[in-house]
Amino acid sequence: MPGTTSGRPRIVTLATDFGSGSVYVAELKGRLLHAPPPVTLVDIGHDLPRHDVAAAAWIVAQTCFTFPPDSLHVVVVEPGVGTARRLVWARIGGQTFGAPDNGVRSLA
């Protein structure tokens, strides 16, 4: 879970296809704010093309590595919503990713 790393706030980025007006964005942020402080939430975007894993993978590859090391990137673009697909945590290039196991990290 996010928290302090190296004496500075842990950055948590969010990239979803929920839609910017979706209540799910607020629910996700609310849950993340229960993490040990300090946490800085940064919206990559919530209007990613719906269920488009390839587009999300490109956005992740273009944006996530511009953040400081040890940032956490939560990516939720999932065409199989409601299925048993598992969540994967991965450490890539000094960054941490939490995303469905659907290839969204493939370009990272």
CA distance 3 to 95: 14
Residue 65 vs residues 7, 36, 38, 51: alpha-carbon distances, Å:
20, 24, 21, 23
Buried-state track 8-27, b at ≥16 Cβ within 10 A, e below 16? eebbbbbbbbbeeeeeebee
Name the one residue in this structure whose structure tokens are 């065409």. 79
Sign of CA dihedral 19, 20, 21, 25: positive
Q: pLDDT by residue for the chain (108 residues), tens digit each?
A: 455 455 677 999 999 999 988 999 999 999 999 988 789 999 999 999 998 989 999 998 899 999 999 999 999 988 766 667 788 888 988 999 988 787 776 666
Q: Are 11 and 67 in contact (CB under 8 A)?
A: yes
Report if pTM > 0.75: yes
Cα dihedral 29, 11, 60, 94, rounded to 10, equals -140
| DSSP SS3 for 86 | coil
